[in-house]
Each structure stands twice: as C-alpha cells, then as structure tokens.
C-alpha cells in the first residue's frame, strides 16, 4: 500500500499495477518476447505462400505454352464405272459396283489431358490462412490482462503465502532503497567534486541575472532528473546548487 511504503520513481517502473489499463514495462518485455516467437511462424507462412504462388506460376506457364494439338484429315473415294449394255457389263456393274466406297476422316488429338490444371488461391483463402497467426499475435498483446489475475487467484487460495510474499517484497524494497541511497550519495559526491561546466555556469548566471527566465530554464532533480517544481528543495549548503524533488529529498 502506498500509505505504508510510497514507491519512488525508479521503483514504480518495476512493478505491475493491476488497475492500470496501459501495458507496463515488465509486461512489455514479456509481450515483446512472445511476439518475437511469432516471427518464425510468420516467416514460415510467408515462405509457404510464396512457394505456392511460385509453383502455381510455373504450372500455369507450362499449361499455356506446352499445349500441342494435331489435326488429321483424309478422304477416300473409290468408284468403278463399267460401260456397256451387254449382259457381262450388267453383271460386272452388279458385282464390282458394290465396291464403290467414299468416306472422309477428320481426327484431332491434343495433349490437354496430360497438362497440369493449376488452381491459384484466392485472396480470401490467403486471408483465412493468415487469420490464425493474426489471432495469435492479438492473444500475445491481450494476455497481459489475464496474467494479472494470477496473483489474485493465488492470494485467494493461499492467504498465508500471500502475506509472506508481501513481507518479503517490503523487506527487499527496504534493502534495495538503502543500497540505492548509498550509491546515489557516492555519485552525487563525485559529481560535486567535479568543476562545473561552461553551460552550467552560464545557466546559473542567467537565472541570477534574469529571474523571470527561471520558468524556462528549469533545473532538474539531481537524482531522478524530474523538472523543477515548487515542491523541489535546494541543497542547504550555500556553495551547492543542487536541487532535489520531494520524494528524493
């Protein structure tokens, strides 16, 4: 609870607040890892769709440019004419005349049955193929909100374990804050021993020369870097120009 241990600015970014609808930093890292796992699936899907389009293009070219058609036409006419009016001529006309035949042959042959008959995928089919991957990406984005319920469910079934976890977190924050203050004191001391730069001296001179510029030339907190507000407190040392926000002070 904030009344027990107010979080500093640096500590807030490492916690997840369940009532905040925005995706927070710890959740963002996990979400990015899940999205990176979808990249191999996306590459595989693009490869399969590209391979399908390539094979369809090759088969379509074969179908249009390898078509061969043969046309065969033939005519046969046999006619025997026996002249004369004698009995032998009439007999020959009755017997040999039956051999008179006439027929025309027209034959067309093609390799259409041997050619491939490719069918390309439509845009709707491509869309249906990509929909599962899109749904997976949306689930990666939306999974952060159901994951926030894990602690609530665990606290409901194991209240003693929840109390132990809260106490452990509280003591861990106290140790981290003590160590953090020790490091920051050393950093501020090293920074104070260094001579100020030309830009810092010019800024201080402008603030003393024209007080109305203080609204534009605002200083920042020495520890967290937040812009100066009326709640900022300057260092009580007369030779120090450092300024601290209320939480850091």
What digits encode the pLDDT tens for the residues 162-204? 999 989 988 888 888 888 777 878 877 777 777 666 566 666 6
The answer to the question of residue 97 being in a domain is no
The answer to the question of residue 245 being in a domain is no
The answer to the question of residue 118 being in a domain is yes
The answer to the question of residue 94 being in a domain is no
Q: What is the pLDDT of residue 211?
A: 61
Burial of 221 (0-12, 13-18, 19+ CB in 10 A): buried
Biggest CA–CA distance in the chain, Å, is: 157
Q: How far apart are CA 83 and CA 172, in angstroms?
A: 131
The answer to the question of residue 133 being in a domain is yes
Domain total of the chain: 1
Helices 123-142, 25-65: axis angle to 10 degrees equals 170
Instruction: Write the DSSP symbol of residue 219.
Output: -
Q: What is the pLDDT of residue 9?
A: 72
71-76: Cβ within 8 A, 24+ apart: 71/106, 71/107, 71/108, 72/105, 72/106, 72/107, 72/108, 72/109, 73/104, 73/105, 73/106, 73/107, 74/104, 74/105, 75/103, 75/104, 75/105, 76/101, 76/102, 76/103, 76/104, 76/105
Q: What is the pLDDT of residue 79?
A: 79
The answer to the question of residue 202 being in a domain is no
> Domain range for residue 114?
22-74+105-157
DSSP code string of 53-64:
HHHHHHHHHHHH
Give the torsion sign (CA, 182, 187, 190, 193). Answer: negative
Burial of 229 (0-12, 13-18, 19+ CB in 10 A): exposed
The answer to the question of residue 184 being in a domain is no
Q: Using one digit for the tens of pLDDT, what is the confidence trace for 70-83?
A: 888 888 887 777 77
Look at the chain and count its residues.
249
Burial of 56 (0-12, 13-18, 19+ CB in 10 A): middle
Q: How far apart are CA 107 and CA 16, in angstroms?
A: 82
The answer to the question of residue 134 being in a domain is yes
The residues of the chain scoring below 70 in pLDDT are 1-4, 195-219, 225, 239, 241
């Amino acid at each position: 609870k904030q009344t027990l241990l107010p979080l500093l600015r640096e500590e807030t970014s490492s916690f997840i607040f369940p009532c905040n609808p925005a995706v927070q930093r710890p959740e963002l890292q996990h979400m990015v890892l899940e999205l990176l796992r979808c990249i191999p699936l996306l590459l595989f899907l693009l490869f399969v769709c590209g391979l399908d389009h390539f094979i369809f293009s090759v088969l379509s070219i074969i179908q249009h440019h390898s078509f061969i058609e043969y046309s065969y036409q033939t005519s046969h006419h046999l006619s025997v004419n026996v002249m004369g009016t004698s009995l032998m001529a009439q007999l020959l006309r009755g017997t040999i005349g039956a051999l008179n035949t006439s027929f025309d042959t027209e034959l067309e042959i093609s390799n259409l049955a041997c050619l491939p008959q490719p069918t390309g995928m439509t845009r709707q089919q491509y869309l249906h193929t990509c929909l599962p991957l899109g749904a997976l990406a949306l689930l990666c984005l939306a999974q952060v909100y159901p994951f926030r319920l894990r602690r609530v469910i665990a606290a409901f079934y194991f209240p003693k374990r929840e109390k132990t976890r809260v106490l452990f977190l509280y003591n861990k924050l106290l140790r981290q804050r003590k160590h953090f203050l020790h490091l920051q004191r050393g950093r501020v001391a090293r920074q104070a021993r260094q001579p100020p730069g030309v830009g810092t001296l010019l800024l201080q001179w402008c603030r003393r020369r024209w007080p109305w510029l203080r609204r534009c030339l605002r200083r920042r907190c020495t520890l967290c870097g937040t812009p100066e507000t009326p709640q900022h407190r300057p260092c009580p040392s007369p030779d120090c120009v450092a300024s601290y926000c209320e939480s850091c002070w």
